[in-house]
Structure 1
């Protein structure tokens, strides 16, 4: 065991040393845990109830800050109520789904609160999606309506004929402060900001009829079939996050949480916002993350906490020092993916005292949070879980002679699995077959069931873990889950490419894994300079920016297993090092519009961190 890992191991001595600083959180944490665990699937629960509670606690305090817009809890609540009453008047009811495709801005937040009060499930569509993928995502959840921001309208117009929606169920928000100016809707859309104006501002009668088992969100994750999966996020799960992560953060009415993460992801809309609502604090949002504007916004909004993913932290560390990164109120941060090699440096440079790193997945039933404020850990989990031995070659858990799985020892790496119980249910996907594939049965005894997270973690003791790697057909890049099959399908559509195998490779000093595609060319085809430019243009057009492969390896033949599955392990190990293969390797360098051949010099510069991918 290396020295760093040994240093990170946690025992009773280390926990006892943290108790004095932990004591102040206990009352708030106990209050949250009471709300999280003293509930049943039929208890009234969820975002709508919690938000109305925050309105009572801090009616005149700010709830939302965006650009130059400011909304108090009362103002945001009244806005949400008008949207909710409008959809109730149309006949929307608990169990219905409305798809929402709006970038991070005030209209998105008001809409989410509104639909939560009605009991309608909000399908949080990834605003980077286009084409077939977007049409699939919307149709998958059978919505009764689609609400789109003008900034996303072109993407919707391009596939509108493929959507299973009546013509009169397309709603539109102008790309501006619609509480001040509703704008003029384009043909074929109903102007939602205008339509709600005559509706009541008082609380809807439906809020307290929403129960824990009712759907709150659909959040999309990468699918092994090549298209996104929609994961149901119930009000019960939201209440669990609210009672744990939300109360551990320990914010109050004077706090401001600055979030640049996309609100169609659970980290932004669940984890970060939970803490804000629990403290009746202010949520300050930005449309998209910007390194150069980050500390300017922190000062502008007087933020005291920030939401993060690992990439965000790396970008901030890479930026040259600026005066604004000091002298702010930010002492706390919550999120996931903080790299161990910058953890302490980040805290020191920016004056952060508490990193509430956490682990959770949109579909999973196990969560960790760094309640004791240790370094280099996803934290502590009160939920039942196990870390079991896993055979990477066979791609399955190790079982003993009796057929039972084996737990790893302290300091060792294994597969994280979450026990499925009444208190820790598995809510699952829209696809029943997918549900079956991620449930392990008879793990430690006959009849038990565990959710397979697909993640490798290290057991560092005292119910704490470190994230190590992700298994399967997805990898993380730029804070997003990339579906290898989705990218393979798109890359293979290029006229000269017969087949593509996509996988993630590590680039030094970056978070996650960058996309690399091993491609096989059609008969007698060759890649010219024109192809190198055309491929880059094509891939950027049909894939989200984070999913565009940065490396291409030109193969003569694809290596497969006996069951015709792609052999990715060797490709991952050889990565993009030109010395590991005689085959041609291409790279899409930052700010480039064409792939170029990866030379030994370029490889050395990548290793030396001369390029900022």
Structure 2
């Protein structure tokens, strides 16, 4: 065989190996991430880990690039619904398109920084609450605080009452800036805040007036000196607080580190192909990490545009994507099903979107979603707000459908060192199984669900890998397990069941514990139970999430042990009257079952909840159970006819 023939054979062999192991893809990704990691390492050495410097560099490099697009909803009185020649509604009539270049955004941030520092007295030691809907105002406030060196805490604007007071208190928030479009819940809570936290200042923003001021070129600007922008921060230091539902029954403030913000822009942005020409549209709430860290940060770090929808709307989603010229859109699984269930509109075929990315896209609708909306690539990922673990899958063609981690052999081997799926106790899915002989955990088998764990690099200083929850060491420590695979090691518990198949692809299976997901929000079962108990109508309550066919996530299901001498109607009315005033709408239980015989404590005085997670609707396994459902603001019996309407889509939960 000649040298040319040998060379050709070697080339073919290398191509076959590459096709099987995807080595070139892995090396290319590693190379791109390293190129972005080096400048961040230099910034770290210069005590400049703040994401502010990454944003500022992009703003000065791409001053004329559009940084933010915002299809601002018009008021109903200003909207006249028109129809095209085919009878389809012109949804663009509902919006007024705003856009800001990097220079405009940067200057507005500097002007607001001047106001925050000089009129509100905000400095680097302050934690400031951001209670705002999706709009440019949110990002302007957020990055102004980063410029000053203050710590932003992203409040869920649906939260009210005791949970809101708790959120402000645990984070040590000094002032809260409140968007007028979502100020209802905090106004309802204002008396409680003033009573329990009298030093906290509530600042209700006049948005139109403020935007006029920030656009006035004659107004003074303030770019904080580097020495005042928390130069003592490390890459593991807190850059923002984002609240999560917790098993304590009240929200926990998860620490987002500067490292996470950087990794979102470098690693995640690279995987999702976000660059200076990209336009990332998100209708996910900015107070969650998906939109804030994985939407805003990658776009603004790379000179691209982030387009913000004030609210998610299945009917106008693709119209907004067309208006802002989006190349990327974000989703959670529920959003994908809502879009697929929406009526056809021509705009769903007229957009420029190439990649949709998020988490929770169901395998059974994955291909249908891509085909109907002409999406080339799906970027499915696994992560959680507080988690140091993140996995990605940029999926084209047919391979990798449904997976949340898909890399070549090289990256998979590297990640395998720090990410493990541990076998669970078959008697209790919340407990890691340990070998009776060794006392150590074991790995789950191929296609066997287990809990995803991440190695803590320095077990004696866990904060370098997992920053945990602000001001809550107990909750932080509960997420760390030690002596797992060998003596002295430490691992972060994700709290989620995942599995790996024979191809090395990783798939999300389910959540562990007492938190479930509904309407794109995490619901704390304990919080709901506490409010049901506070209604004064029950002796005991158990809340779980139950699966409902053709619906994403799990719907709230409450099992009630009633107080003596009260009718079901009285109990249901008292419960609903209380929870509607004390819980966000998405957390109110949709199904209720009443009976003293249902809740039986085990030997350790805990009520086993797993038995309720598989509740058969509408009438139980025997077809005789009476279950109530929330219909038009009142709990009524769930009949076969009502269930049929829910299943057909005629009635929405």
Give the TM-score of the pair, scaled to structure 2.
0.84
3-state SS, counterpart of residue 445 of structure 1? coil
2:50 maps to what in 1?
46
1:173 maps to what in 2?
205
Task: Name the CA distance, whole Å, in 2 between partners of 1:168 and 1:21.
Answer: 51
1:464 maps to what in 2?
505
Checking the alignment, whether the CA contact within 8 Å between 2:377 and 2:395 is kept in structure 1 is no
- Structure 2 residue aligned with 1:396, among 409, 417, 431? 431
- Structure 2 residue aligned with 1:449, among 484, 487, 490? 490
1:51–1:265: structure 2 CA closer, same or farther, 3 Å change rule? same
3-state SS, counterpart of residue 178 of structure 1? helix
Alignment of 1:580-591 (within 5 A): 580=621, 582-589=624-631
Checking the alignment, whether the CA contact within 8 Å between 2:177 and 2:204 is kept in structure 1 is yes
2:88 maps to what in 1?
none
3-state SS, counterpart of residue 502 of structure 1? strand
Deviations 1:228-269 (A, max 9, x none): 111111112211222211222222333211111000000010
1:264 maps to what in 2?
287
- 2:146 is the counterpart of 1:116: yes
1:62 maps to what in 2?
66
Deviations 1:557-588 (A, max 9, x none): 42111222122111122343413254421012
Checking the alignment, whether the CA contact within 8 Å between 1:219 and 1:230 is kept in structure 2 is yes
2:129 maps to what in 1?
99
Checking the alignment, whether the CA contact within 8 Å between 1:309 and 1:479 is kept in structure 2 is yes
3-state SS, counterpart of residue 269 of structure 1? helix
Checking the alignment, whether the CA contact within 8 Å between 2:556 and 2:591 is kept in structure 1 is yes
Unmatched runs of 5 consecutive residues or more in structure 2: 1-15, 73-96, 407-411
1:492–1:575: structure 2 CA closer, same or farther, 3 Å change rule? farther
Task: Name the CA distance, whole Å, in 2 between partners of 1:377 and 1:38.
Answer: 35
The answer to which of 479-488 and 421-430 deviates more is 421-430
1:551–1:41: structure 2 CA closer, same or farther, 3 Å change rule? farther
1:4 maps to what in 2?
none
Checking the alignment, whether the CA contact within 8 Å between 1:143 and 1:165 is kept in structure 2 is no
Deviations 1:285-329 (A, max 9, x none): 111101111111111111111011111111001012211100211
The answer to which of 275-284 and 417-426 deviates more is 417-426
3-state SS, counterpart of residue 316 of structure 2? helix
2:174 maps to what in 1?
144
1:37–1:399: structure 2 CA closer, same or farther, 3 Å change rule? farther
Task: Name the CA distance, whole Å, in 2 between partners of 1:363 and 1:343.
Answer: 27
- Structure 1 residue aligned with 2:443, among 403, 407, 424? 407
1:5 maps to what in 2?
none
Checking the alignment, whether the CA contact within 8 Å between 2:134 and 2:310 is kept in structure 1 is yes
- Structure 2 residue aligned with 1:568, among 588, 605, 609? 609
Checking the alignment, whether the CA contact within 8 Å between 1:85 and 1:204 is kept in structure 2 is no
Checking the alignment, whether the CA contact within 8 Å between 2:537 and 2:562 is kept in structure 1 is yes
User: How many angstroms does 1:606 deviate by?
Assistant: 4.0
1:364 maps to what in 2?
387
3-state SS, counterpart of residue 359 of structure 1? strand
- Structure 2 residue aligned with 1:489, among 530, 533, 536? 530
- Structure 2 residue aligned with 1:71, among 92, 95, 100? 100
Task: Name the CA distance, whole Å, in 2 between partners of 1:29 and 1:543.
Answer: 42
1:594 maps to what in 2?
634
- Structure 2 residue aligned with 1:502, among 525, 543, 548? 543
Task: Name the CA distance, whole Å, in 2 between partners of 1:39 and 1:566.
Answer: 51
2:357 maps to what in 1?
334
- Structure 2 residue aligned with 1:311, among 326, 334, 337? 334
Give the TM-score of the pair, scaled to structure 1.
0.89
1:509–1:17: structure 2 CA closer, same or farther, 3 Å change rule? farther
- 2:372 is the counterpart of 1:349: yes
Alignment of 1:8-47 (within 5 A): 16=20, 28-34=32-38, 43-47=47-51
Task: Name the CA distance, whole Å, in 2 between partners of 1:159 and 1:196.
Answer: 37
1:537–1:418: structure 2 CA closer, same or farther, 3 Å change rule? same
Deviations 1:459-493 (A, max 9, x none): 12565310000010100111111000100111222
Aligned length, in residue pairs: 588
1:200 maps to what in 2?
221
- Structure 2 residue aligned with 1:552, among 574, 580, 592? 592
3-state SS, counterpart of residue 580 of structure 1? coil
- 2:646 is the counterpart of 1:612: no
Deviations 1:535-560 (A, max 9, x none): 44543332111111110011224211
Checking the alignment, whether the CA contact within 8 Å between 2:449 and 2:499 is kept in structure 1 is yes
3-state SS, counterpart of residue 253 of structure 2? strand
- 2:454 is the counterpart of 1:418: yes
Task: Name the CA distance, whole Å, in 2 between partners of 1:177 and 1:20.
Answer: 53
Checking the alignment, whether the CA contact within 8 Å between 1:257 and 1:307 is kept in structure 2 is yes
3-state SS, counterpart of residue 210 of structure 2? coil
The CA RMSD over aligned residues, in Å, is 2.9
Alignment of 1:202-281 (within 5 A): 202=223, 204-205=225-226, 206=228, 209=231, 211-281=234-304
2:114 maps to what in 1?
85
The answer to which of 271-280 and 286-295 deviates more is 271-280
1:375–1:19: structure 2 CA closer, same or farther, 3 Å change rule? farther
Task: Name the CA distance, whole Å, in 2 between partners of 1:172 and 1:80.
Answer: 18
Unmatched runs of 5 consecutive residues or more in structure 1: 1-11, 183-192
Deviations 1:133-155 (A, max 9, x none): 11111111111211111233343
Task: Name the CA distance, whole Å, in 1 between partners of 2:217 and 2:133.
Answer: 20
